[in-house]
Every structure is written in structure tokens, then in C-alpha cells.
């Protein structure tokens, strides 16, 4: 068992079962042994590779989206340009490089802010950003972002890392899934005592069989609600990219990733990444009830709509065959339906009535 696993087992032994959301929070953010607080998750040598780490084109196209959103708002200054959960800082680095080329006055005058819960990753971001780091402020929570001025905010693979609650159907009833100790002192799942609010369950929950799992994500809802409130009050727009589904449904999506392979969720607390698929309908509903315009589409459609193929062509024009091959492999990986193109979704939110390119192409 990992050191964190031993601590969790001792905690359960003395204070009783813990919820899936407490387990996730401990595994990801325990100050001493948490995954994001202590490990290097990203890239070939890590556990998973995210879109900005696959190709600079991802950050370039997100930058163009932000620029279009800013001009659609009337190019207000001052403005805050923020990213939440920046990982190694690659997305913001590529965005700032691109935005400087499009309109250097925006990068020169915007308040550029990174929201990062892990102090260790904030240090990595400082290094990645290089000369741009002097323009950036860091915040431990999104609530720390400057208010009273418009906000353009992006987040890639943030919501999947926020703790979820799970409920399991046991004896015909939904009960909160808990983590207990098995006979050998190892970690195991069990049906706990608390019950979910029935109004929050997806439509297919009533007919779900024994053992089925439903997920609710209050931490995600709270993050979305506070961002939506900020955007409604101060104006602005947001782009949230993650893997997940568009219609609410039952199903266990909690997963552990270690060295680019799936692992048992309870096998290596603190040493594997834990994530769950994002319910985009829930997020969109929260943004909508704050009065914001919201649109969601598949990542592949979003990137193609933003000009991925044209950008790949231009980037490849000055390269040799090997370079061009790398670029077309990146296009495939980011946008092909059987790779990240369909599983990943992009949700854009904006102040009421705002046109959210390229999403308006969806509107008949």
C-alpha cells in the first residue's frame, strides 16, 4: 500500500468509512502525499498527456477564441485573462505567444491570472511561462480573481479533477458509495448510509439495475456557479474543455490513470491520477440559470471550426517531412472522433446575447 493508502486505512479504522469525494480530495491534494501536490503527472514520462501538451496548435486556437470573444465584447480594458488548473502552464504560454502576435496591446494591458491549487505546479508554470511569467499573478482559488472588470477564463481538464460523490443502487435504493476496509485491511467500496436528493438523479436512474452507480459533483457545480456569477456581474466569457457527456446518465466513470494505463481506483492512493467524466448538461444548466449564453460541442468540431486544418497546413509548410508527419499525427489525436475529438467536449459561456464563434454555426 502507498503511504497515503496506509493513512487513509488508519483514518477509516478510527473514524469510519469515507466518501468517494473525500477519497478523491485526499488522493489528489493531500499536502504531503497528494497526486497533484507531489507528482509530475504530464507527458511521456508522467501518467497522461493533455491537449496543450500534444501540440502548440491547441493553445493557439484557444487564444484566437479568446481574442474573438474579447472583440465581440467590444474589446474592453481593463480585462482579466485567466486560466484555472494550468498544469505545466503550456496552454497559457502558447496563448500569450499567440495573443502577442495578434494584438500586443491586449497582452500588455490585460491582468493575466493563473488559478492553481498545487504550489508545486505553480512553480512549474512559472518556469514554463519564461519571459511572460512577470506579467502573471497566481491565485490558489478562483475567488481570488480580481472582480469589477470583465473576465475571459479558460480551463482544460479542470472539472474532471474536481472530487465527485457517487451513489450506488443497493437493495433497490440509492446509497452514497463509501470506502471501507475489507477483511485484510485493504480499501474496498461499499454502500454507505446517506441518500441522494432524488431530484438530482438522471432520468435513467429509476430503471437502473442493482449495483448501478450515479455521480453528482457538487464541487464542480460550486466552481461553475461562482464563475458564472462573476461573468454575469462583470461581463466576459469562458471556455471549458474536458472529457464528458452531454446528456445526464447513470454510470461509474471514476478512473485512475498511471503511466498512460488505467489502474484500479483504490490501488495506489496519491500515486495515480483520479478523474471522472464531466456532466456538461449540469454545468450548462448552472451557467444558464446565472443568465449566461452557453453552447457545447465536441472538441473535434470546435478545433476544426477554429481552423485547425488551416493552422496545421501553415505550420507544416516550413517543415520537413518528419515535422509535417508530427503535425498531422497531432491533428488526428486532437480531433479524430476515435481519439480525443468526440470524447472531449468544449463548453463556451458568455454574457447574455453574446455570439460564441464557432458555436453559432450550430444554430439553424
Instruction: Determine if 121 is a binding residue for ligand SAH (CB under 6 A).
Output: yes
The region of 16-24, 84-92, 193-201, 316-324 touching ligand SAH under the rule CB under 6 A is 84-92
Instruction: Determine if 158 is a binding residue for ligand SAH (CB under 6 A).
Output: yes
Instruction: Determine if 157 is a binding residue for ligand SAH (CB under 6 A).
Output: yes
Residue 159 CB, shortest distance to ligand SAH, in Å, is 9
Q: Quick one: DSSP state of residue 10?
A: H
Q: Which is nearer to ligand SAH, 18 or 239 (CB)?
A: 239
- The string of DSSP letters for 97-113 reads HHHHHH-HHHHHHSEEE
- Give bridge partners of residue 188 from the DSSP assignment: 180
CA-based nearest residue to 347, from 200, 211, 231:
231
The footprint of ligand SAH on residues 160-179 (CB under 6 A) is: 161-162
Q: Which is nearer to ligand SAH, 42 or 70 (CB)?
A: 42
Q: Residue 189: phi, psi to the nearest 5? A: -85, 150
Instruction: Determine if 128 is a binding residue for ligand SAH (CB under 6 A).
Output: no
Residues 6+ apart with CB under 8 A from 359: 295, 297, 302, 305, 348
Q: Which position has the grid cell 491586449?
A: 106
98 is written with which cell numbers?
Answer: 499567440
Instruction: Determine if 117 is a binding residue for ligand SAH (CB under 6 A).
Output: yes
CA angle at 39 for the pair 38 and 42, rounded to the nearest 5°: 145
The footprint of ligand SAH on residues 20-39 (CB under 6 A) is: 36
* Contact (Cβ atoms closer than 8 angstroms) between residue 277 and residue 160: yes
The region of 66-74, 157-165, 206-214, 258-266 touching ligand SAH under the rule CB under 6 A is 157-165
Instruction: Determine if 86 is a binding residue for ligand SAH (CB under 6 A).
Output: yes
Residue 247 CB, shortest distance to ligand SAH, in Å, is 25
Q: Kind and range of the H or E element at 204?
A: none
Instruction: Determine if 84 is a binding residue for ligand SAH (CB under 6 A).
Output: yes
* Contact (Cβ atoms closer than 8 angstroms) between residue 291 and residue 56: no
The footprint of ligand SAH on residues 174-213 (CB under 6 A) is: none
Residue 53 CB, shortest distance to ligand SAH, in Å, is 6
Q: Which position has the grid cell 438530482?
A: 200
Residues that bind ligand SAH (CB under 6 A): 36, 42, 50, 52-53, 84-87, 91, 115-118, 121, 156-158, 161-162
Amino acid at each position: 500500500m502507498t503511504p497515503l493508502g496506509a493513512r487513509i486505512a488508519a483514518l477509516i479504522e478510527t473514524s469510519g468509512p469515507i466518501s468517494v469525494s473525500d477519497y478523491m480530495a485526499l488522493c489528489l491534494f493531500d499536502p504531503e502525499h497528494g497526486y497533484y501536490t507531489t507528482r509530475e503527472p504530464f507527458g511521456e514520462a508522467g501518467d497522461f498527456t493533455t491537449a496543450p501538451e500534444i501540440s502548440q496548435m491547441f493553445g493557439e486556437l484557444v487564444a484566437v477564441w479568446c481574442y474573438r470573444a474579447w472583440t465581440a465584447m467590444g474589446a474592453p480594458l481593463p480585462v482579466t485573462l485567466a486560466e484555472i488548473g494550468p498544469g505545466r502552464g503550456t496552454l497559457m504560454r502558447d496563448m500569450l505567444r499567440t495573443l502577442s502576435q495578434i494584438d500586443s496591446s491586449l497582452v500588455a494591458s490585460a491582468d493575466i491570472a493563473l488559478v492553481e491549487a498545487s504550489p508545486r505546479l505553480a512553480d512549474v508554470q512559472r518556469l514554463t511561462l519564461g519571459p511572460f511569467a512577470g506579467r502573471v499573478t497566481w491565485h490558489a482559488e478562483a475567488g481570488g480573481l480580481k472582480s469589477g472588470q470583465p473576465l475571459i477564463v479558460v480551463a482544460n481538464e479542470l472539472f474532471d479533477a474536481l472530487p465527485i460523490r457517487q451513489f450506488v443502487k443497493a437493495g433497490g435504493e440509492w446509497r452514497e458509495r463509501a470506502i471501507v476496509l475489507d477483511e485484510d485491511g485493504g480499501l474496498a467500496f461499499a454502500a454507505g448510509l446517506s441518500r441522494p436528493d432524488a431530484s438530482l438523479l438522471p432520468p435513467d436512474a429509476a430503471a437502473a439495475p442493482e449495483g448501478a452507480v450515479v455521480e453528482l459533483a457538487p464541487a464542480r457545480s460550486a466552481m461553475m456557479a461562482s464563475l458564472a456569477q462573476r461573468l454575469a456581474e462583470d461581463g466576459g466569457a469562458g471556455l471549458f474543455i474536458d472529457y464528458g457527456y452531454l446528456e445526464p446518465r447513470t454510470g461509474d466513470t471514476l478512473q485512475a490513470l498511471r503511466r498512460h494505463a488505467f489502474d484500479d481506483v483504490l490501488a495506489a492512493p496519491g500515486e495515480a491520477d483520479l478523474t471522472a467524466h464531466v456532466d456538461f448538461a449540469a454545468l450548462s444548466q448552472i451557467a444558464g440559470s446565472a443568465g449566461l449564453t452557453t453552447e457545447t460541442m465536441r472538441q473535434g468540431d470546435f478545433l476544426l471550426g477554429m481552423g485547425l486544418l488551416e493552422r496545421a497546413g501553415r505550420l507544416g509548410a516550413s517543415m520537413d517531412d518528419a515535422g509535417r508527419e508530427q503535425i498531422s499525427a497531432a491533428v488526428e489525436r486532437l480531433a479524430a472522433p476515435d481519439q480525443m475529438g468526440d470524447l472531449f467536449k468544449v463548453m463556451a459561456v458568455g454574457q447574455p446575447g453574446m455570439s460564441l464563434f464557432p458555436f453559432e454555426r450550430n444554430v439553424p
